[in-house]
Every structure is written in C-alpha cells, then in structure tokens.
Amino acid sequence: MSDLAATIAAIAAAMARETTRGAVAGYIPELAHVDPRHFGIAVVDAEGREHVAGDADLPFSIQSISKVFALVEALAAHGDRVWARVGREPSGSAFNSIVQLEAEAGRPRNPFINAGALAVTDLIAGSGGTPAILRRVRDLAGDPTIAVDAAVAASEAATGFRNAALANYMKSFGVIDGPVERTLPVYFEQCAIAMSCRQLARAGRFLMHGGRCPTSGAPLVSAERARRLLALMLTCGHYDASGEFAFQVGLPGKSGVGGGILAIAPGRASIAVWSPGLSKQGNSLLGTRALELLAHAMMWNVFNPDE
Ligand code: GLN
C-alpha cells in the first residue's frame, strides 16, 4: 500500500499532464464555460485527516451527485414511501433517457438517473424543498457556506426540456403527484449546488463511517440505510457506465455532469475528484482515471477480503 499524501500528489501531477480530457457538459450553457484544464482531488481518511491536491478548494457544480443527498433527505422525511415510486435497478440507459418509462408504467429504475431523481425530488418539493436539501448537505459537510449557484440553476431551467418531459411523463402515470412546475425548480437548484472537492469529501464522511457523524459518532442515517445508499452508488451511480466503474475502480461512487465524482472506500476514505471533461456517458474522464489510480495504489476495493 502506498503513502496517501504522496499518491494523491502524484495523481494530480499525472492528471495535469493528460491531454485527452473529454468535453465539458455543453448542454447546460452555464457549464459550457468551465475550463476543462481543472483537476482537483480531496480525500478524508478514517481518522479525519484531509489530503488534497490540485483545485481541491474551487467550487464546481455538483449536478447529479446531489441525487445522493436528495435521496438521504427524502428517506429521512418520507421513509420507505420513496420506494413506492422509484426502483433500485441499474438502468443501462443514458442518465436522461425516457425509453424505460413507457414500458415500466412511469416508475423510474433508480433514484440516480434523472427520472428517478425527479420522482424523489417531487416528494421533497412537497415537504422542505430546496432549503431542506441544502440544510442536509451543509450539515453533512459541516459547512454553512455551501450554496446554490443561481446562474447555473437558471441556465438549466431555461434549457431543461428533457427534464420537463420526464417529469410530465411521470406525472401522467401518477408517479409524480405535485405540480411539475413545483418539482422542476427544486431539481434544478439541487443540481446547481456548488461545492469544492474538499467540501464534497467531507459531506461523504458519513458513508465511510456506516452512517455515523464523523465527529460525534451519532447516527445520521442508520447503518442499514448507509449500506443501501452505497449499494445504489455502486450499481447505479454512473448511469450506463456503472458496471465499468465497478470493474475499474471497485468502489461505490456517484458522478455528475459538472465533472465531479464522490467515491467511498467504506471504513477507509471519502474521496471527491473533479475534472470537467466528460466521457460519452457523462462521467468525468480524468476523475474516473484518478479514482482508478488511487484505488489501485491504496488497495481500496469493496471486493477485497478484509485484511
Ligand atoms: N442537472 C443535470 C441534468 O438534469 C444532471 C445530470 C447529471 O449530472 N448527469 O441534466
């Protein structure tokens, strides 16, 4: 096993030299301006030590990584009623696909694709709305400064025709019960939360610690819920590249089209990486590469027998 600080520094140096970086998410106009040369990494270890390199303190748009925090909030506020409207199967389809909804009575495959997140967000829109999600993220990260980037939210609202289509389609099946006009803004705002790698890695600590607060040890979510969130991240966190991510990295992770990925090595580390250039499935190209290198160097893999 390698030294963590040295490994992270070496990965950041290697990523800075990479010339193939992928394309930024141009379909959200405000994200099309982001410089693809950014790379950041932050790791919080089991003892709470933080190791960072590159642009680890620069905020970026967390986009679909927010689907994890929204699910935590929905489960806290609505319990297992969440599972009446959304499944727990990988979709094998693009993050914004509509095709399965017709065949499957409007019930999205899982909470980490857009359709599933919209169904989850509809529940939250009827309870605490965006402030509840933001409060949850701030609490988990221990950072009251985390905020929604209003320009990104507005940019997505102006161009979010597919998400509007998904929400309306699900509404026709009764899977969304509130007004679509109430659900969509909450969805766009949660996607537009801006966080740095350091803030994101801090927000993921409870998942490394079986649902417990890293400082007080108090349960933030039950151990069973933490395990299930990780199971969903492993099987569904990277859309139609979830199998490939499990194969190459071997850790539960959740990506977003802002170029961030949150990955968890249970009992070992909460890891956030950011590089805005994406693969064709919408996952950070260098972020995935960096996680592969880190997981291999540290021998972090959920399928390792316990040392
Ligand atoms: N806000 C984005 C969208 O709805 C989130 C997608 C993503 O990060 N994969 O298209």
CATH number at residue 204: 3.40.710.10
Give the DSSP H or E segment for 255. Answer: strand 253-255
- Locate the DSSP E strands across 78-187: 147-148
Residue 123: both structure tokens together: 């529940």
Q: What secondary structure does DSSP assign to 24-71, as a single string? A: --TTSGGGTTS-TT--EEEEEETTS-EEEEESTTS-EE-GGGHHHHHH
Whether 157 and 69 share a structural domain: yes
Which residue out of 91, 113, 114, 161 has the highest number of ligand 1 atoms within 8 Å of its CB and is therefore the one to mutate?
114
Nearest atom within ligand 1 for CA of residue 192: 1
Does residue 303 fall inside a structural domain?
Answer: no
Question: Are residues 71 and 167 part of one domain?
Answer: yes
What distance in angstroms lies between residue 195's CA and the mean position of ligand 1's atoms?
A: 16
HSE-CB of 156 using CA atoms within 13 angstroms: 25
pLDDT at residue 263 above 60?
yes
**pLDDT band (50, 70, 90) for residue 306:** confident
State which of 95, 149, 238, 240 you would mutate to test the pocket of ligand 1, scoring each by most atoms of that ligand within 8 A of its C-beta: 95
Whether 304 is covered by a domain: the verdict is no
Which residue intervals of 149-216 are DSSP H helices?
150-159, 161-172, 180-191, 197-203, 205-208
194's enclosing H/E stretch is strand 193-195
Q: 193, 217, 234: which is the final residue of a domain?
A: 193
- The answer to whether residue 231 sits within a structural domain is yes
163 lines ligand 1 (CB under 6 A): yes
pLDDT tens digits, 35-77: 999 999 999 999 999 999 999 999 999 999 999 999 999 999 9
Residue 285 lies in a domain: yes
- Across residues 112-116, what is the average pLDDT? 98
| In a shared domain, residues 69 and 171 | yes
Angle at CA of residue 221, ends 274 and 241, nearest 5°: 40
Ligand 1 atom showing the smallest separation from residue 65 Cα: 8
| CA gap 44, 62 in Å, rounded | 18
Q: Which atom of ligand 1 is nearest to the CA of 117?
A: 4
Residues 123-162: tens digit of each pLDDT? 999 999 999 999 999 999 999 999 999 999 999 999 999 9
Domain count along the chain = 2
Tell whether ligand 1 has an atom less than 6 A from the beta carbon of residue 235.
Answer: no
Shared domain check, 287 and 240? yes
Which three-class secondary structure state does DSSP give residue 269? Answer: strand
In terms of domains, do 184 and 233 share one?
no
- Percentages of the chain per state (helix, strand, coil), in multiples of 5: 50, 10, 40
Give helix 129-141 / helix 114-125 axis angle, nearest 10°: 110
Judge if 95 and 188 occupy the same domain: yes
Residue with tokens 């301006």: 33
Measured distance CA(187)–CA(240) in Å, rounded: 21
Name the burial class of residue 151, with classes exposed (0-12), middle (13-18) and buried (19+) by CB atoms within 10 angstroms of its CB.
Answer: middle
pLDDT of residue 1: 61
Q: Is residue 33 part of a domain?
A: yes
Residue 166 pLDDT > 60: yes
Between the CA of 255 and the centroid of ligand 1 the distance, in Å, is 10
In this structure, the answer to whether residues 74 and 52 fall within a common structural domain is: no
Task: With respect to residue 201, please indicate whether it lies within any of the assigned structural domains.
Answer: yes
Asked if residue 161 belongs to a domain, the reply is yes
The pLDDT mean for the chain works out to 96
Q: Which of these, 194, 198, 143, lies nearest to 8 by C-alpha position?
A: 198
- Work out whether strand 260-265 and strand 269-274 pair parallel, antiparallel, or are unpaired: antiparallel
Nearest CA to ligand 1 atom 6: 64
Residues 6+ apart with CB under 8 A from 214: 44, 48, 205, 206, 208
Q: Is 95 in the pocket of ligand 1 (CB under 6 A)?
A: yes
Are 44 and 122 found together in one domain? no
For the cut 70, the answer to whether the pLDDT of residue 307 exceeds it is no
| Contact (Cβ atoms closer than 8 angstroms) between residue 133 and residue 68 | no
- The parent domain of residue 97 ranges over 64-193
Answer for the pair 67, 96: CB distance below 8 angstroms, yes or no.
no
Q: How far is the CA of 48 from the centre of ligand 1 (A)?
A: 30
Positive or negative, the CA dihedral 124, 127, 131, 135 is: negative
For residue 260 and ligand 1, the question of a CB distance below 6 A is answered with no
**Mean pLDDT for the stretch of residues 199-207:** 98
Does the structure show a pLDDT above 60 at 277? Answer: yes
Residues 215 and 165 in one domain: no
Position 278 scores a pLDDT of 97
Verify that 164 and 261 share a domain, yes or no.
Answer: no
Q: Say if 44 falls within a structural domain.
A: yes
Q: How confident is the model at residue 2 (pLDDT cuts 50, 70, 90)?
A: confident
Answer whether residue 280 shows pLDDT above 80. Answer: yes
Kindly state if the Cβ of 183 falls inside 6 Å of ligand 1. no
Residues 283 and 136 placed together within one structural domain of the fold: no
> Where among 158, 193, 228 does a domain terminate?
193
119 and 43, same domain (yes or no)? no
193, 221, 246 — which closes off a domain?
Answer: 193
- pLDDT score for 281: 95
